[in-house]
Amino acid sequence: MNTNAVIAIHGGAGTILRASMSASVEADYHAALHAALAAGQRVLADGGSALDAVSEAVRLLEDCPLFNAGRGSVYTAAGTHELDAAIMDGSTLEAGAICCVKRVRNPILAARRVLERSEHVLFTGEGAESFAAAQGLEFVEPEYFHTEARHRQWLLARDRNRAMLDHDGATFAASSFATNNDDPAPREPIDPNRKFGTVGAVALDLHGHVAAATSTGGVTNKQVGRVGDTPLIGAGCYADDATCAVSTTGSGEMFMRMVAAYDVAAQMAYRSVSLQEAAHDVVMNRLPKIDGRGGLIAVDARGNIALPFNTEGMYRGFARHGEMPVTAIYR
Ligand code: ASP
């Protein structure tokens, strides 16, 4: 039994500016991260697989409207939602992913079914939805994904006629998520730092296997049909028992060009560097060279974890076997 079992999660790199974050919104984020970690930790403690633990943690984060995945996803340029997700099992190198789905309640569960029940790895759009329907997964009306905060964020991005990474309108989101807030107007202009949503989980189970899962609504005001790094194995999600499991968040186009998740694993395999060193190099050295902003979470088969980000913050946390979950937002 590998008692180094651990789960780590993220809810996006880039956060609401500290100055704009109210105590109650901050507490809501910590509570949501804590709940997802505790659920994943329970799966691991019961002897469940890393794959089950990351599926469950990401499913919960998808259901939480605070994060840009599942309910609470950002809007496309057409005022719709298109969701992407991927999952990978480090013990078998099996993977499943879906992109551009509009009505699947939990994209991560669809990705999981692709991993388990399809000979293919990635389904898109209509084909992904037909596959999910045939698997008996839950479908919802598009309005299910709507939140006031993301809708206003989209209107802002649309008026400026540009795509915007989630949390660009972070102050917006902060004011909209705040309870008892009777001032719906944003208090500050859009943060010039790019901000990202997306959720992910990586885990090492008691049997010594790792897995990774990532899910997103993408970027605000993205063109219809745009696919980012999240559902691409090697870019936004990767897992191999021999090296590590990785889930990313950030400017998807740059993470794709850097094959960011796989690069962490490849550096460990080919350069024999530690998880920490490989993850740091990708996030702090390689991605910034092409203006790639964001972060990642990673775990190796010995239970080491790395949670680097090059943005102001990253919603994140980890829970080791038998210990209290730890959550954090800022540096
Ligand atoms: N990486 C995601 C994408 O480009 C965005 C994010 O992490 O918020 O779709």
Q: Per-domain residue ranges for the chain? A: 6-144+192-330
231 lines ligand 1 (CB under 6 A): no
Place of tokens 């759009």: 125
Q: Ligand 1, closest atom to CA 14?
A: 8
Contacts of 109 (CB under 8 A, 6+ apart): 55, 59, 137
100 Cα: distance to centroid of ligand 1 (angstroms): 13
Could you identify the atom of ligand 1 that is nearest to the CA of residue 84?
Answer: 9
Q: Is the CB of 292 under 6 A from ligand 1?
A: no
Confidence of residue 192 (pLDDT cuts 50, 70, 90): very low
Q: Is residue 295 lining ligand 1, measured as CB closer than 6 Å?
A: no
d(CA 180, CA 36): 25
168 lines ligand 1 (CB under 6 A): no
Q: Which residues of 289-307 are buried (b: 16+ CB within 10 A; e: fewer)?
A: eeebbbbbbbbbbebbbbb
- Where does residue 110 rank: exposed (0-12), middle (13-18), buried (19+ CB within 10 A)? buried
Mutation probe of ligand 1 site: the residue of 167, 168, 194, 219 with most atoms within 8 A of C-beta: 219
Q: What contacts 215, CB < 8 A, 6 or more positions away?
A: 58, 61, 62, 69, 70, 83, 84, 85, 86, 107, 108, 111, 198, 199, 200, 230
Region label for 123, one of left (φ > 0), alpha (ψ between -120 and 50) or beta (otherwise): beta
**3-state SS assignment for residue 16:** coil
Give the CA radius of gyration of the chain. Answer: 18
* Cβ–ligand 1 contact at 220 (below 6 Å): no
pLDDT tens column, 14-39: 767 777 788 998 999 999 999 999 99
Q: What is the pTM of this model?
A: 0.92
Cα separation, 81 vs 103, in Å, equals 9
Determine the Cα angle at 135 with ends 132 and 136, to 5°.
Answer: 95
Q: What is the pLDDT of residue 164?
A: 67
Token pair for 234: 């090697």
| 247 within ligand 1 shell (Cβ under 6 A) | no
The answer to whether the CB of 215 is under 6 A from ligand 1 is no
Atom of ligand 1 nearest to the CA of 253: 4
pLDDT tens digits, residue range 152-190? 888 988 888 767 666 544 444 444 443 333 333 333 333
Query: Is the CB of residue 197 below 6 angstroms from any atom belonging to ligand 1?
Result: yes
Cα–Cα distance list, 157 to 66, 233, 254, 326 (Å): 19, 29, 20, 34
Looking at ligand 1, which residue's alpha carbon is closest to its atom 1? Answer: 252
Give me the residue label for tokens 């897995």: 211
What are the pLDDT digits (tens) for 296-321? 999 999 999 999 999 989 999 999 99
Catalytic (active site) residue 179: no
Distance (angstroms) between ligand 1 centre and the Cα of 257 equals 13
Count of residues in the chain: 331
| Ligand 1 atom with the shortest distance to the CA of 68 | 8
For the chain, what is the mean pLDDT?
A: 90
Closest C-alpha to ligand 1, atom 7: 249
Q: Tokens for 276? A: 């920490």
C-beta separation of 154 from 77 below 8 A: no
CA-to-CA distance for 163 and 251, rounded, in angstroms? 11
pLDDT at 194: 44
Helix (DSSP H) and strand (DSSP E) numbers for the chain: 10, 12
Q: How far apart are CA 173 and CA 121, in angstroms?
A: 34
Ligand 1 atom closest to the CA of 249, numbered from 1: 7
Q: Span 6-144+192-330: which CATH code?
A: 3.60.20.30
Res 258 pLDDT > 70:
yes
Question: What residue numbers does the annotated binding site for substrate cover?
Answer: 226-229, 249-252
Q: Residue type at 212?
A: A
| Helix (H) / strand (E) containing 320 | strand 313-320
Q: Which of these is catalytic: 147, 198, 216, 327?
A: 198
Of 114-118, 146-150, 194-198, highest mean pLDDT: 114-118
